[in-house]
Amino acid sequence: MRVLPILIFLGLSAGFLTACGESAGQSEPASHPATAKPVRVAPVTRTDTLRQYALTGVTRAANRATLAFQVSGNLSKRPVNIGDRVEPGQLIAELSNPEAGPQADAARARLSELNTRLAQAERDLTRVENLFEQEAATRQELESARASRDALQASRDNARAQLSRSTRTLDETRIKSPVEGTVDRVLFEPGEFVPAGQPVVSLSGGGLTEVEIGVPENLIDSVEVGQPATLRLPLFEGRTVSGRVSEFASASTGAGQLFPVVITLDAGQSLRAGLTVEWLLDATQPQRLTVPVTAVVSPGGSGQPRVYRVVDGRATAVPVKLGAIMDENVIVEGELEAGQSIIVAGLNNITDGRPVEVLP
């Protein structure tokens, strides 16, 4: 159904006055002719207004990552650039920390030494236990061997914790790729200071593409998870792709703000990240009353539009407020109900209360 923009009645009055044949400045007479005026009528109708909205968004990879350090420091390495392909586990960036590497190496060496000594202490304890059973070793020697073994176990556990801390500190100065993908953005150059938590590099993984689009609150009833969606690329000669609504926020981003909706493109329709797309959303507006355009008049050029109902064989004026024109009808607001008969032909010289004869 074609819907025209809302028009102010002054823009319609010329057409309506032509239809009713009244001249500006003419007032309604106080008395009515005795003969009934022949008229034709049509019903007031209630209709849904179907409109299509184009909501704008930007494509992005469904599998993506924004990478940041958990600690602050100066960026010493960033071996990737925009557009580079990366593999899972590949080094993306590293902070300068001259002490982290040597500390981790020292902790690893200390743990290795203690493991060797502990293994020897376990063998010594086993030998002393055998000798004690044969009464070839004293209880003091047995307890001494056990104490040595227990002390080395404690030292080994402490060395493990030290190595874990050193390794974690070293890991915090390095960012590795969690996915296979492409570098989209780099936000720091080597030598720059990087605050903790500040994004350094963003990646787009392979696979599906999605779009996040903001939906105004008057359209949220037209959206549900799983519904099909048609997306148009306005800068690519109107090319269209299809997808489905995969996520729909239950709240807006703030008072008077939009509701985020994520549309995942169907498999095989992946697009480059960062492309502008439009979601062609069909939405049904609330039901409204409509009357034929020819039923609306403006008596005396007063600018107050009205229609005439037929009640008990007489014309009854009903003031209305006009909305948008829909084909040959116009949306109206007033004291009307669907199904009521209003005059659409024979409106010349019609006044409130005049007898009328409804023609078949």
- Of residues 179 and 48, more confidence is placed in 179
Amino acid identity for residue 222 in this structure:
S
Q: What gap in Å lies between CA 279 and CA 292, rounded to an integer?
A: 33
Is 11 a residue whose pLDDT tops 50?
Answer: no
User: What's the whole-model pTM score?
Assistant: 0.49
Q: How confident is the model at residue 30 (pLDDT cuts 50, 70, 90)?
A: very low
β-pair partners for 247:
262
The whole-number pLDDT of residue 34 equals 65
Q: What gap in Å lies between CA 84 and CA 144, rounded to an integer?
A: 61
Instruction: Output the six-digit token pair for 63.
Output: 């599998």
Secondary structure (DSSP) of 259-324: EEEEEEEPTT----TT-EEEEEEEEEEEEEEEEEGGG-B-GGG-S--EEEEEETTEEEEEEEEEEE
Q: What gap in Å lies between CA 215 and CA 263, rounded to an integer?
A: 12
- Of residues 107 and 170, more confidence is placed in 107
Residue 154 and residue 41 in contact, taking contact as beta carbons nearer than 8 Å: no
pLDDT digits (tens, 9 = 90+) for 159-205: 899 888 877 877 888 899 988 888 989 999 999 999 989 999 999 88
Mean pLDDT score, 47-58: 80
Place of tokens 């209630």: 46
pLDDT digits (tens, 9 = 90+) for 211-228: 999 988 878 888 989 999
Q: How confident is the model at residue 126 (pLDDT cuts 50, 70, 90)?
A: very high
pLDDT digits (tens, 9 = 90+) for 273-301: 888 999 988 877 667 888 999 999 975 55
> Please, what is the Cα angle at 344 between 320 and 307, to 5 degrees?
15
Q: How confident is the model at residue 27 (pLDDT cuts 50, 70, 90)?
A: very low
The whole-number pLDDT of residue 33 equals 63
11 Cβ contact partners less than 8 Å away, ≥ 6 residues apart: none
pLDDT digits (tens, 9 = 90+) for 243-268: 999 999 888 766 668 899 999 999 87
pLDDT-above-70 percentage for the chain: 86
